[in-house]
């Protein structure tokens, strides 16, 4: 299994150290994080971002390609709620689509489930 974190998932893990041990025991470590997620969960202030940066250093940060961006746009549009669903969440699901046995860890379970429902792959969604 491969875990993919959105900003809420990443922030939750940064707040609760024991979550890392749980993910390791479930075979979900190290998680993958689309680089665009960093925009939502970092402030640019190294003091405020310290805990989050520690977790990011342990993750696999993935670049977002044009192909992935276009796929995310398609998923977002197919939900019928493109105006109210985060483009970043759509990128998270698009990344998850390309992984084996993906699990998205999110604080926005409703939107991520809606995006995952548009996928041609089974994507597990866990609330952070």
pLDDT in tens, 64-78: 999 999 999 999 999
Helix, coil or strand: residue 91:
helix
pLDDT tens column, 72-100: 999 999 999 999 999 999 999 999 999 99
pTM (2 d.p.) = 0.95
* Domain membership of residue 16 as a residue range: 2-127
How far apart CA 77 and CA 84 sit, in angstroms, is 10
- Specify the CATH number for the domain of residue 42: 3.40.50.1010
Question: Which two tokens mark 79?
Answer: 């939900």
Domains identified in the chain, total number? 1
């Amino acid at each position: 299994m491969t875990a993919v974190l959105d900003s809420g998932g990443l922030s939750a893990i940064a707040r609760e150290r024991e979550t890392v041990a749980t993910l390791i025991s479930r075979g979900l470590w190290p998680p993958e994080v689309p680089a665009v997620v960093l925009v939502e969960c970092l402030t640019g202030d190294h003091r405020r971002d310290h805990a989050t940066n520690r977790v990011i250093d342990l993750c696999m940060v993935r670049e977002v390609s044009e192909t992935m961006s276009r796929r995310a746009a398609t998923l977002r549009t197919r939900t019928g709620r493109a105006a109210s669903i985060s483009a970043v969440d759509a990128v998270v699901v698009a990344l998850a689509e390309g992984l084996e046995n993906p699990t998205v860890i999110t604080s926005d379970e409703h939107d991520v489930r809606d995006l995952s429902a548009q996928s041609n792959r089974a994507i597990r969604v866990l609330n952070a």
